[in-house]
Amino acid sequence: MKAVELRAKSVDELNNELIELRRAQFSMRMQLATQQLTKVDQVGKVRRDIARVRTVLAEKARQA
């Protein structure tokens, strides 16, 4: 997911995206703890996606 794609979305869509990413992050943390996660690099990717969404939301909040 790129920041350009996120900037095209509305605030509600971004909030929904953030919720979904947080759920995915929680699920991956649980899988990691129980040693069921095969693609460990996905954890870092989800973290960066969450940061991107939060950054875009902050930018939109400053503009409003």
Structural tokens at position 63: 């503009």
For 45, half-sphere exposure in the C-beta direction (CA atoms, 13 angstrom radius) is 8
3-63 adopts what CATH topology?
Answer: Helix Hairpins (1.10.287)
pTM for the predicted model, two decimal places: 0.92
**What's the rounded Cα separation, in Å, for the pair 26 and 54?**
17
Q: What are the sequence ranges of the domains in the chain? A: 3-63
Task: List, for residues 19-62, the tens digit of each pLDDT value.
Answer: 999 999 999 999 999 999 999 999 999 999 999 999 999 999 99
